[in-house]
Chain A
Amino acid sequence: MSLNVEPGTLRALPSEKPLRLLDNAGHALEGEVTGGFELPDADTLLELYRRMVVARRFDVQVTALTRQGRLATYPSALGEEACEIGAVSAIRPEDWFFPTYRDSVALLTRGIRPADILASFRGEWHNGYDQREHRTAAQATPLATQTLHAVGLAHAARLRGEPIVALTFLGDGATSEGDAHEAFNFGAVWQTPTVFVVLNNQYAISVPLERQTNAATLADKAVGYGMPGYFVDGNDVAAMYAVTKAAVERARTGGGPTLIEGFTYRIEAHTNSDDPSRYRDQREVEHWRRRDPIERLEKYLVSEGVLTESIREEIAAAAEALAAATREAMNEEAELDPLELFDHVYAAERPALREQRDALAAELAARSEGGER
């Protein structure tokens, strides 16, 4: 699975058919459609399977909690697990990840606690985890802005001679933003160790892909920037992992950035406040449900004898335990200190903020005295 780019080959467009290593029936593929990439080994595939099952259970649980009003909002990644987990599993813990608001299951894969992932959607603080500890940037809501941060961080790491790669996700809609263009261009001009993964779930809220771009694939855009582009079946976790892994290693060894498009589908609504029946046909959703990324890998692993009933039960139990822990965490009332509002605006002390903090403190004290009477 060489990703070395020969001179002149950057003029070649990505293949028109998505690269895939496993077909929808879970059969290993050979030939042109694999793009020269190899199926990861059984242990890797089993681990990817485990991560997807746990992530799916988490996503379903959080969507249910959102419907119960425990969270203010939650953008589901149901159906996109292969795309997210395949790609994010291809980087090392010391690499950096720059996610968007829909990438909570990828954060889970990065080892971040559910309660910390959900702090923002619960309305507690804009981001709830330690970005440095997990080498994972705060989830970005403004579209494509985080892709520039990934380019900058990767450039800084390279300037300091450290073999760090920055992986960033963006959606199909985000590719229309100016910042996506600027990030692709800066990354390619500076040859930064950055991997851009477009999670093409075919809808930007309600706007379908054909109203987003006139390009044959979003991966085609890579050619114009002078970097390799790969059009990948985003419901094939093996392919997403293999292609991203190769791009990450190429970036790490000075080969510059890569643009990968994972072609997938958002099964759930954009968020809980969205009504997808107004803009897409239920038959389309059913079509994509039959292309489920977890079932596909499961069929393969079972046919290979890798996934036994006992392993499956063990994974299901782990997923249930995580879901239970998530429910429990969301039942607990977080302790919030209103005075902390002022602590994280500036590093340097500001007299005006101190005055406002003191005013709020007095207000809170008066309120609690009133409550005691």
Chain B
Amino acid sequence: MTTAHETETKTEAAVDAAPAASAGATASAAPVTMAGALNRALHDAMADDDTVVVFGEDIGPLGGVFRVTDGLQAAFGADRAWDAPLAESGIVGTAIGMAVYGLRPVVEMQFDAFSYPAFEQIVSHVAKMRNRTKGRLSLPMVIRIPCAGAIGGVEHHSDSSESYWASTPGLTVMMPSNPADAYSMLREAIAGDDPVIFMEPKSRYWAKDELVLPVRTAPADRAVVVREGTDVTLIGYGPTVRTALEAADAAVDEGLSVEVIDLRSLSPFDDATLDASVRKTGRAAVIHEAAKFGGYGAEVAARITERNFFHLAAPVLRITGFDIPYPSPKLEEHHLPTPDRVLEALASWEWELA
């Protein structure tokens, strides 16, 4: 099923992709899931560059628990795509050595909270290698992290760890929200010379868009306006872009014109796109699943305020998960930010609409 906002996203992608996608102009668009787009991105990257290798837990014959690595071992052999022993620090740590030797490893952490054993390798080495070696060693590697909740996962399968990575200098943190961006951003992440934490919102893995792959969307370091509006800027990323779009649709009934921005890149932060939107609307709210306290939304709100204070008609709001450990599946609906909560938050500004 293609919803209204998915069509929006597709249009945006098609506009940005115009030159690259023109070769496929005669091909008819087919439904593509985000998992499928990621799989194709890995496949194409491996086909184009034989230094790209993929490894992690269950990524070989099984094709990954979300099938994102499906068929890669069959296509490229066990020297290019292989199962690692079950140890995340080992996966990231060995990928560092491979990157030093000239490979471009793309590793999978399987689930967000499974990445924590690799925290030291990521924070102390992946993020800092270029800096501590004065630019002599860089690590062209990608750490794929299926992230966030709303898939009915049990404990440790639905965390939002983006703040940890985004506040670590040296890391680039990306989170696509749709299949076209998933393809394009992953290709860019693999081709770049900086290490990338590539976060994949699990609840969007099966979201489909009508697409012709390969596709190139906006550069990965840009935020994208996915819906234009004049009264308020709603900022989402990954799983909450859909929430923002649904809220924007519903807000029309209340006479509100809501602009929605898909952040796409959490680090670096695209100040310019945010500034332009906020100066137009005068109001901003950010939505994420992670806890509010010290969360990524605090950075978004602070940046917007610091740079646009005199253009703002109201404080920047955060609509987030509660400050609790991620709850059990039967209770997660109460934790996750919903379009209704977004609308309530917007109403708290006590609008005076003409």
Binding site for B on A (CB under 8 A): 125-128, 130-132, 137-138, 140, 142, 145, 147-157, 159-160, 166, 178-179, 182-183, 185-186, 189, 340, 343-348, 350-352
**Could you tell me the distance between the alpha carbons of A130 and B133 in the complex, rounded to whole angstroms?**
8
Given known A-B contacts A182-B87, A189-B85, A346-B194, A126 and B131 have beta carbons under 8 A apart: yes
Instruction: Enumerate 13 A-B pairs (CB-CB under 8 Å) in ascending A order.
Output: A126-B133, A127-B132, A132-B136, A138-B137, A142-B120, A153-B101, A182-B85, A186-B90, A344-B133, A347-B194, A351-B271, A352-B268, A352-B269
Instruction: List residues of chain A with CB within 8 A of the CB of B269.
Output: 352
B134 at the interface (CB under 8 A from A): yes
Contact (Cβ within 8 A) B94 A159: no
**Could you tell me the distance between the alpha carbons of A157 and B97 in the complex, rounded to whole angstroms?**
10
Given known A-B contacts A186-B84, A347-B192, A125 and B96 have beta carbons under 8 A apart: no
B256 at the interface (CB under 8 A from A): no
B255 at the interface (CB under 8 A from A): no
Instruction: List residues of chain B with CB within 8 A of the CB of A340.
Output: 134
Contact (Cβ within 8 A) A178 B97: no
**Could you tell me the distance between the alpha carbons of A32 and B128 in the complex, rounded to whole angstroms?**
47
Instruction: List residues of chain A with CB within 8 A of the CB of B128.
Output: 126
B120 is contacted by which of A145, A152, A160, A348 (Cβ under 8 Å)?
Answer: A145
Q: 9 closest pairs, A vs B, by CB?
A: A152-B97, A148-B93, A152-B94, A182-B90, A153-B97, A126-B132, A347-B193, A156-B101, A149-B97
Given known A-B contacts A179-B89, A185-B90, A345-B130, A166 and B97 have beta carbons under 8 A apart: yes
Contact (Cβ within 8 A) A182 B89: yes
Contact (Cβ within 8 A) B124 A142: yes
The winner among A157, A340, A345 for most chain B CB atoms within 10 A is A345
**Could you tell me the distance between the alpha carbons of A149 and B194 in the complex, rounded to whole angstroms?**
17
Instruction: List residues of chain A with CB within 8 A of the CB of B192.
Output: 347-348
A sample of 5 more A-B contacts (CB under 8 A), given A148-B97, A152-B93, is A153-B100, A159-B103, A344-B131, A345-B131, A346-B130
A145 is contacted by which of B93, B95, B99, B103 (Cβ under 8 Å)?
Answer: B93
A178 is contacted by which of B79, B89, B103 (Cβ under 8 Å)?
Answer: B89
A69 to chain B, nearest CB (A): 24
B152 at the interface (CB under 8 A from A): no
Q: A interface, by DSSP: helix, strand, loop or mixed?
A: helix
Instruction: List residues of chain B with CB within 8 A of the CB of A179.
Output: 89-90, 93, 120-121
Instruction: List residues of chain A with CB within 8 A of the CB of B131.
Output: 126, 344-345
B55 to chain A, nearest CB (A): 10
Contact (Cβ within 8 A) A156 B102: yes
A138 is contacted by which of B99, B132, B135, B172 (Cβ under 8 Å)?
Answer: B132
**Could you tell me the distance between the alpha carbons of A264 and B132 in the complex, rounded to whole angstroms?**
30
Instruction: List residues of chain A with CB within 8 A of the CB of B120.
Output: 142, 145, 179
Instruction: List residues of chain A with CB within 8 A of the CB of B98.
Output: 152-153, 155-156
B143 at the interface (CB under 8 A from A): no
Contact (Cβ within 8 A) A155 B133: no
B284 at the interface (CB under 8 A from A): no
**Could you tell me the distance between the alpha carbons of A155 and B170 in the complex, rounded to whole angstroms?**
25
Contact (Cβ within 8 A) A159 B79: yes
**Could you tell me the distance between the alpha carbons of A186 and B273 in the complex, rounded to whole angstroms?**
45
- Residue in B closest to A341 when the chains form the complex, CB atoms: B131
Instruction: List residues of chain A with CB within 8 A of the CB of B132.
Output: 125-127, 138
Contact (Cβ within 8 A) B124 A145: yes
B53 at the interface (CB under 8 A from A): yes
A-B contact count (CB 8 A): 137
B117 at the interface (CB under 8 A from A): yes
Given known A-B contacts A142-B124, A159-B53, A347-B194, A178 and B84 have beta carbons under 8 A apart: no
- Residue in A closest to B272 when the chains form the complex, CB atoms: A351
Instruction: List residues of chain B with CB within 8 A of the CB of A142.
Output: 120, 124-125
Instruction: List residues of chain A with CB within 8 A of the CB of B105.
Output: 152
Task: List residues 130-180 of chain B with CB under 8 A from any CB of chain A.
Answer: 130-138, 169-170, 172
**Could you tell me the distance between the alpha carbons of A179 and B25 in the complex, rounded to whole angstroms?**
50
B94 to chain A, nearest CB (A): 3
Contact (Cβ within 8 A) B172 A149: no
Instruction: List residues of chain A with CB within 8 A of the CB of B117.
Output: 178
B285 to chain A, nearest CB (A): 22
Contact (Cβ within 8 A) B97 A156: yes
A143 to chain B, nearest CB (A): 10
Instruction: List residues of chain A with CB within 8 A of the CB of B136.
Output: 130-132
**Could you tell me the distance between the alpha carbons of A310 and B309 in the complex, rounded to whole angstroms?**
79
A131 is contacted by which of B53, B84, B137 (Cβ under 8 Å)?
Answer: B137
Given known A-B contacts A148-B121, A153-B98, A348 and B194 have beta carbons under 8 A apart: yes
The winner among B95, B101, B117, B125 for most chain A CB atoms within 10 A is B101
Instruction: List residues of chain A with CB within 8 A of the CB of B138.
Output: 347
A148 to chain B, nearest CB (A): 3
Instruction: List residues of chain B with CB within 8 A of the CB of A132.
Output: 136-137
Contact (Cβ within 8 A) B135 A344: yes
**Could you tell me the distance between the alpha carbons of A138 and B87 in the complex, rounded to whole angstroms?**
24
The winner among B53, B94, B97, B138 for most chain A CB atoms within 10 A is B97
**Could you tell me the distance between the alpha carbons of A80 and B39 in the complex, rounded to whole angstroms?**
51
- Residue in A closest to B83 when the chains form the complex, CB atoms: A189
B133 is contacted by which of A138, A183, A343, A346 (Cβ under 8 Å)?
Answer: A138
**Could you tell me the distance between the alpha carbons of A179 and B94 in the complex, rounded to whole angstroms?**
10
Instruction: List residues of chain B with CB within 8 A of the CB of A352.
Output: 268-269, 271
A157 is contacted by which of B90, B101, B135, B194 (Cβ under 8 Å)?
Answer: B101
- Residue in B closest to A188 when the chains form the complex, CB atoms: B85
A337 to chain B, nearest CB (A): 11
A98 to chain B, nearest CB (A): 8
Contact (Cβ within 8 A) A154 B97: yes
A213 to chain B, nearest CB (A): 20
Contact (Cβ within 8 A) A150 B193: no
**Could you tell me the distance between the alpha carbons of A166 and B96 in the complex, rounded to whole angstroms?**
13
**Could you tell me the distance between the alpha carbons of A281 and B68 in the complex, rounded to whole angstroms?**
59
A127 to chain B, nearest CB (A): 5
**Could you tell me the distance between the alpha carbons of A131 and B131 in the complex, rounded to whole angstroms?**
13
B330 to chain A, nearest CB (A): 34
